Chain A
Amino acid sequence: MIHQISIQGMLGATHARKGDERRKALLGVKGLRKRHGERLLFDIGCLEIASHSAYVLTGMNGAGKSTLLRVLGGLERAEIDSLRFEGMEERPYPYPRALRESIVYVHQHPVMFSTSIAHNIGYGLEVRGVAKEEAARKVEEAMAWAGVAHLQDVEPGRLSGGERQRVALARAKVLCPKLLLLDEPTSNLDGQAREQVIELIPTMVEAGGSVVIACHDRDLIGLPGVQRLKLRDGQLEVR
């Protein structure tokens, strides 16, 4: 409970400080349909994600939460009538470069590349061609933020579930994405590991991006200032 109060405090302060005037339409998708064979998984008339905002995406198992995040993250295809990103009309496929550089998706069970923790966290910087010194500094900051600095000599394959999730969050955060898509980040965690991950999520929003979290976690769903989206019967409800 102590953790929940502190999280609420952080998010409340964040949103009060930023104010509504800073929020602009970040991503707008119209006519988003996904089929698995003949079955229509979802048919979303309009999905709007604002900048500097946090959303939780709920729904029953199999409702399509992960699929929706994967479509938004460019890992799966769907039928899309129109797509706007930061006010610019974009063709949905091939997945636009602007979206690829601004949106990061994190798996429910993230995998670690078999290199080092620091390389894992700096991977996105490396592929973007960020200078080595700058990348090393950002990686160090991200490791401190995620509380994994003490793990830097550990083989990535030996990390616990909670440590792995925190490294994955650091790997995403270091890129300062405009939109972060988290797929059930606490689903396989309990106790302290879960609390540590929950503590990190509000600070990601505070950093200035938007975040959409698919989850069943009541502590995440109940956060103030977080908008609720629910996938039900193939439709998206905004609450």
Chain B
Amino acid sequence: MSLLDATLRAFALLFTGDPDLWRIIWVSLKTSVLGLLLATPPAVLLGYLVAMHRFKGRRIAIWLAQAALSLPTVLIGLLLYLLLSRHGPMGPLQWLFSQPGIIAGQFVVAIPVLLAFTLAAVQAVDPRYAETAVAHGASRVQVMVRVLHEARFGVMAAVLSGFGRVISEVGCALMVGGNIEGETRTITTAIALETSKGEFAQGIALGIVLVTIALLMNGVLMLLQGDAHVARDRP
């Protein structure tokens, strides 16, 4: 099959509403969004705390958070596999080769991105914002809300980058999910499988979906950041 034929078939699969294809897309979006939703609150909180507080070992924490960005997802998958396997400490949960297992994997994959980007975004906020909030009587939580509001574009970028990382990763989803058709087959694991079988049409169709998601996400970010230059106070 030529590349053109495969691409035409890919579009046909997409626009005829091929149930297998859309099931894969649904599993991917569901596990990625849930993993990200679970990871965002603790990662943003941790990023804020590390950025705003001086404590022993802070530099090591920042170093580890940034190093974790380049952690291969297949290694995260391996570690989770060992934890979730029948004789592992989390074996009784029976999450291996299931959607909760993939969600747990996406959670772990998203944390470093969210943490490191939030840390950088909060560190970039002028310290006078927090001081002004404190000086006007804000509690610790109120100061955090204020600072995160000032850093909101950076935090949004963190969330979107985290989404980009989890939706496009293959190693963890493959090892923990097992690529079971209709159950744990995600966009990336399906592309890997279909390509290995020489079935390029579905792979190309799913690739188009991934690129469309990436374009949409970055478009949303650009729209949100459109007024960032006037929203942020001049130094």
A contacts, CB < 8 Å to B: 73-75, 100-101, 104-107, 109-115, 123-124, 127-128, 155-158, 171-172, 175
Contacts and interface: CB of A to CB of B under 8 A. Distances in A.
A115 B129 CA distance: 12
Centre residue among A73, A100, A101 by max chain B CB count within 10 A: A100
Contact of A105 (B135, B146, B231, B232): B135
Interface string B214-235: 0000000000000000111110
A1 B155 CA distance: 50
Contacts of B231: 114, 155, 157
B133 A123 contact: yes
A74 B137 contact: no
Nearest to A181: B135
B136 A111 contact: no
B85 to A, nearest CB: 48
B58 interface: no
B126 interface: yes
Contacts of B128: 107, 109-111
B135 A75 contact: yes
B139 A157 contact: no
Interface of B: 126, 128-129, 131-139, 142, 146, 149-150, 230-234
Given A111-B126, A155-B231, A171 B131 contact: no
B135 A73 contact: yes
Given A107-B131, A157-B233, 13 more contacts: A74-B135, A106-B135, A109-B128, A113-B132, A113-B146, A113-B233, A114-B150, A123-B136, A124-B137, A128-B137, A158-B230, A171-B136, A172-B136
Closest 6 pairs between A and B when the two form their complex, measured CB to CB? A124-B136, A114-B231, A105-B135, A111-B128, A127-B138, A112-B233
B134 A156 contact: no
10 contacts: A75-B135, A104-B136, A106-B135, A123-B133, A123-B138, A127-B136, A156-B233, A157-B231, A157-B233, A175-B137
Contacts of A74: 134-135
A90 to B, nearest CB: 16
Nearest to A114: B231
B137 A155 contact: no
B133 A127 contact: yes
Contacts of B138: 123, 127
Contacts of A106: 135
A235 to B, nearest CB: 26
Contact of A111 (B137, B142, B233): B233
B134 to A, nearest CB: 7
B154 to A, nearest CB: 13
Contact of A113 (B135, B137, B149, B234): B149
A113 B131 CA distance: 12
Contact of B149 (A101, A114, A156): A114
Contacts of A114: 149-150, 231-233
B147 to A, nearest CB: 10
A73 B128 CA distance: 13
B228 to A, nearest CB: 9
Given A75-B131, A114-B149, A175 B230 contact: no
A127 B135 contact: no
Contacts of A127: 133, 136-139, 142
A75 B133 CA distance: 11
Contact of A157 (B129, B136, B149, B232): B232
Contacts of B234: 157
A107 B233 CA distance: 14
B133 A104 contact: no
Nearest to B135: A105
Nearest to B153: A114
Nearest to A102: B137
A130 to B, nearest CB: 11
Given A111-B129, A171-B136, A155 B146 contact: no
B166 to A, nearest CB: 29
A112 B233 CA distance: 6
Contacts of B149: 113-115
